[in-house]
Chains A and B, each alone.
Chain A
Amino acid sequence: MAIRVSSTVPGGADVVADIERRSGERVSACYQCGRCTSTCTGAFAFDYPPHRIMRMLQLGQVDEVLNSRTAQICYDCMTCSTRCPMNIDVANVIEHAKMIADERGIEGDEKEIRLFRLAFLKNVRRHGRLHEARLLTWINFRSFRPFNDLSLVPLILRRKKIHIVPPRIKNRQEVHRIFREINGGDK
């Protein structure tokens, strides 16, 4: 089936413009050399390699990008960004696609990965840094497996890998501010 390019996808161009504005990257600068894909460490697990994501955004195939496995599971190793001859931070573009997907409540197929990412961010925002005990508990409950890996808890506690009491850091407000800025003031 022929793809529908931006002008025919309702709101497609707007989302791409939104990604460009928020990420500060020029999606239109990509000329599809594929260097991002050549050494992409996650491409084996992606449905679309990074250069395809860039192309799809150029054509305004926003739904496909926001629902893609790539946008859900890319782990920001940034190899693509270091290699891009056009100085596009490709990982940043994908990260913003990920954020917009979250804002739209798109869950995708990789529910646990999304759950972890959202839990992680929420955790860091609340505590200023990661509070592992709370993160693990939260994930276990949210994924309906409250007893998952429970047998490891005594061991981790004994080795002081995680702490029951939340960490205290200075200037937690600064971390909140960073989150606010990245989310454009909302939330």
Chain B
Amino acid sequence: MNKAKNVAFSYSFLFPSFILTMVLGIYPMIWALRYMFYDYKGFGAERFVGLANFERVMRDQQFWESVANTFIYAGGKLLLSIPLALILAVILNWNIKGKNLLRAIFFMPTIISTAVMAVVFFTIFNSYNGILNQFLMKYLFIQSAVDWLGVDYAMLTVILVAVWGAVGNYMLLFLAGLQNIPQDVYESSALDGANKLQQFRYITIPMLGPVMQMIIMLAIINALKGYESIMVMTDGGPIGKTNVMFLYVYKLFFPPAGGAAATQIQEFGYGSAVAFVTAVIVGIITILYFYGSRRMSQND
């Protein structure tokens, strides 16, 4: 066998993947790592400023508000979606009628575009002539329209939309975990007189531990990173109430063309620094969670 020829062949087959990954995946990250030490607005001269951008991040009120918003958003999303997904998974793991159809229905939202659904939800939650308000006023005798996307409820609304899109995914992951639990454990516990609730508490939860740890970690990262649907539905408004950190970063790189937006100029250098800080925040939370939840994976 011709070894040199094989190696050359391997490299040639790897080349398209390697070059695309380097140029469009790795290079942009290095670009950001470099510019976080620069003052650069996308045009004109770039000026090395050392850690000045990071000092500015520390003082940036709007950014820290967006961090707080992100925690509210992620926390709300997790608190609603994880328990609901777990309950649905446990039920649909029983041998009930129509379980396949129900699984398919609950999973459906995850295949639809987040942006498209955000547009649809916008028309549903719209305070003026929104579909939800029409129904509420007609059938539930609510006197005045609820301002679902206003200051008071906007965060709740975007959380509900996020939960709608996420539950099916986590349900399916829980289901996969449940199916790995041997059935005879349940059978022998039933012989010992355990009811379904006891089985859930003393068998399902502990045996699902490692899988649950991973699903929640995935969910945390996703919740901290998600901003597409918020961008379409509220664009961070009203008055920054739903501005999350990834949306804040986005706007530093692609400032809105008009209107009374918070930032009007491109801030490539500063934006890179903010992005780095957000990545660190996500990283720290992930690590904290991972070590804090170790008991879950010990399976006892």
Decide whether A and B assemble into one complex: no
Residues of B at the A interface (CB closer than 8 Å) are none
